[in-house]
Amino acid sequence: MLVDFKSLPESSRVWIYQSNRSFSESELEDIHSKLNTFIQNWTAHGSDLQAGFIIKYRRFIIIGLNQSLNTATGCSIDASVHFIQQLEKEYNVDLMDKMNVSFKQGEYIAYKSLLDFKKMAKEKAVSKNTIVFNNLVTNIAELNENWEVPASESWHNRFLK
The whole-number pLDDT of residue 97 equals 87
46 and 15 together in one domain: yes
What percent of the chain is predicted at pLDDT more than 70?
Answer: 100
Please measure the distance between the N-terminal and C-terminal CA atoms of the chain and give it in whole angstroms: 46
Q: Which residues pair with 54 in a beta bridge?
A: 62
Mean pLDDT of the chain: 93
pLDDT digits (tens, 9 = 90+) for 22-74: 999 999 999 999 999 999 999 878 778 899 999 999 999 999 999 888 888 78
Print burial letters for 129-139: b (CB count within 10 Å at least 16), e (below 16): ebbbbbbebeb
13 and 57 together in one domain: yes
Domain boundary among 68, 91, 114: 91
Task: Give the span between the Cα atoms of 90 and 137, in whole angstroms.
Answer: 27
The whole-number pLDDT of residue 28 equals 97
| Backbone torsions φ then ψ of 115, nearest 5 degrees | -65, -45
Task: Give the span between the Cα atoms of 9 and 68, in whole angstroms.
Answer: 9
10 and 87 together in one domain: yes
Q: Supply the range of the domain harboring residue 46.
A: 5-91
The yes-or-no verdict on residue 161 having pLDDT over 80 is no
The whole-number pLDDT of residue 79 equals 92
Quote the longest CA-to-CA distance of the chain: 52
Sign of dihedral through CA atoms 145, 148, 152, 155? Answer: positive
Q: Which residues pair with 20 in a beta bridge?
A: none
The whole-number pLDDT of residue 99 equals 85
13 and 85 together in one domain: yes
Domain count across the chain: 2
